[in-house]
Amino acid sequence: MHKNFFAVFLGAVMVMPLAAHAEGSYFKAGVGPSEYKAESTTENETALTAAYGFAVDKNFDVELGYAHLGKFKDADGSMEAQSFYIAGVGNLPLTDAFSAFAKVGVAVNHFTTKTTGLGSDTETKARALMGLGLAYNFTKEIAGTLEYQYFGKVEQVKISALAVGVKYGF
């Protein structure tokens, strides 16, 4: 199953540059807190995000992105997460400058866990991706964004990120 998923994901990555010249393409980058939430603890780290997308029509985009979700540490060890994703993004204009958006897709999450005295382990899992956000257009090409993304759960730890970013349309 994972081999088939990676083949589809790689195919999508290869098709994305073909859309780069299409009107409605964009690049966005963001930074903000990521959250690692387990039964008894919640930790925040710094998330860095980047995404490339293109408009299918005025209300729907396809987006390919990456998020480095930081490294959570406690007395028992650490967990580091990063994610590549592909998602459909629905846009809802609220005014000429403001819009809301929601995204649903698939994230390929890579987790590295290190347990004190036991060594380390890596795991790559495909999970559903969900997100909500707001955008404010400063100009036709440049917008500010505020976005929440949920990347799924691994070993009883839920991982999400809230990012403030800049979106550049070309």
pLDDT digits (tens, 9 = 90+) for 65-90: 999 998 877 777 888 889 999 999 99
Joined together, the tokens standing for residue 52 give 């490339």
Residue 74 and residue 54 in contact, taking contact as beta carbons nearer than 8 Å: no
Please, are residues 164 and 144 in contact by the beta-carbon 8 Å criterion? yes
DSSP letter string, 55-68: EEETTEEEEEEEEE
| pLDDT class of 11 with cuts at 50, 70, 90 | low
Q: Is the dihedral of CA 134, 37, 53, 88 positive or negative?
A: negative
The predicted structure's pLDDT at residue 16: 55
How sure is the predictor about 22, in pLDDT bands with cuts at 50, 70 and 90? low
- Would you say residue 1 has pLDDT above 50? no
Give the separation between CA 116 and CA 155, rounded to whole angstroms.
16
Judge contact between 108 and 5, C-beta under 8 A.
yes
Say what the pTM is: 0.81
CATH number for 7: 2.40.160.20
Element (H, E) at 12: helix 2-15
Quick: pLDDT tens for 92-117.
Answer: 999 999 999 999 999 999 888 888 88
Average pLDDT, stretch 149-162?
87
How many domains are contained in the chain? 1
- Residue 133 pLDDT > 80: yes
**Burial of residue 122, with CB atoms counted within 10 A of its CB: 0-12 exposed, 13-18 middle, 19 or more buried:** exposed
- What residues are paired with 126 via a beta bridge? 108
In the numeric block, the tokens 């396809």 are attached to: 62
Q: Quick: pLDDT tens for 44-60.
A: 899 999 999 999 998 99
Which residues span the domain enclosing 52? 2-169
- Tokens matching residue 6: 């990676």
